[in-house]
């Protein structure tokens, strides 16, 4: 008689597991600048310099890193035109568009509710000051 050992089943992806690759993908999509790059590109393709102006506060280095991460993940398409001076356009892939739509909705939600949050912050701070 032999005992058959069932093959290990891969665990389903779970962002709560620090070792799960989906955790890393979530971190890219929700990174400080990743969120804003995805939301911006949902409107239209952008050149690097335009994107840098549009997203307030982003450094050239952080924008380049963020775009590279999102390109590697398959969310952003980089189109380098062979012209002088060089021109590089960034746009969303189909996969990136799906992520961007959700991120964009969250960004719009925070804009709509910023006053609720500020009131909550005031109440919290007053309760602790007294």
Residue numbers of the site for a copy of itself (CB under 8 A)?
12-23, 25-27, 29-32, 35-36, 39-40, 54-57, 71-75, 95, 98-99, 102-103, 105-107, 109-114, 116-121, 123-125
Cβ atoms of 33 and 63 closer than 8 Å: yes
Q: Which of 47, 129, 112, 122 is nearest to 81 (CA)?
A: 47
Nearer to a copy of itself, 65 or 107 (CB): 107
Q: How many CA atoms lie within 13 A of 74 on its CB side?
A: 4
Q: How far apart are CA 117 and CA 109, in angstroms?
A: 11
82 vs 116, which CB is nearer to a copy of itself?
A: 116
Minimum CB separation of residue 101 from a copy of itself in Å reads 10
C-beta of 25 vs 89, nearer to a copy of itself: 25
Helix then strand then coil, in percent of the chain rounded to 5, is 60, 10, 30
CB of 27 to a copy of itself, least distance (A): 6
């Amino acid at each position: 008689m032999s005992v058959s050992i069932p093959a290990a089943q891969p665990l389903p992806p779970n962002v709560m597991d620090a070792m799960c690759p989906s955790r890393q993908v979530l971190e890219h999509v929700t990174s400080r600048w990743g969120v804003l790059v995805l939301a911006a590109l949902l409107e239209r393709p952008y050149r690097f310099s335009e994107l840098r102006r549009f997203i307030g506060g982003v450094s050239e280095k952080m924008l380049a890193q963020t775009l590279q991460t999102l390109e590697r993940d398959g969310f952003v398409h980089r189109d380098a035109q062979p012209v002088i001076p060089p021109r590089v356009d960034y746009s969303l892939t189909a996969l990136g568009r799906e992520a961007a739509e959700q991120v964009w909705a969250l960004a719009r939600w925070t804009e709509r509710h910023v006053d609720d949050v500020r009131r909550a912050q005031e109440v919290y701070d007053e309760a602790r000051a007294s």
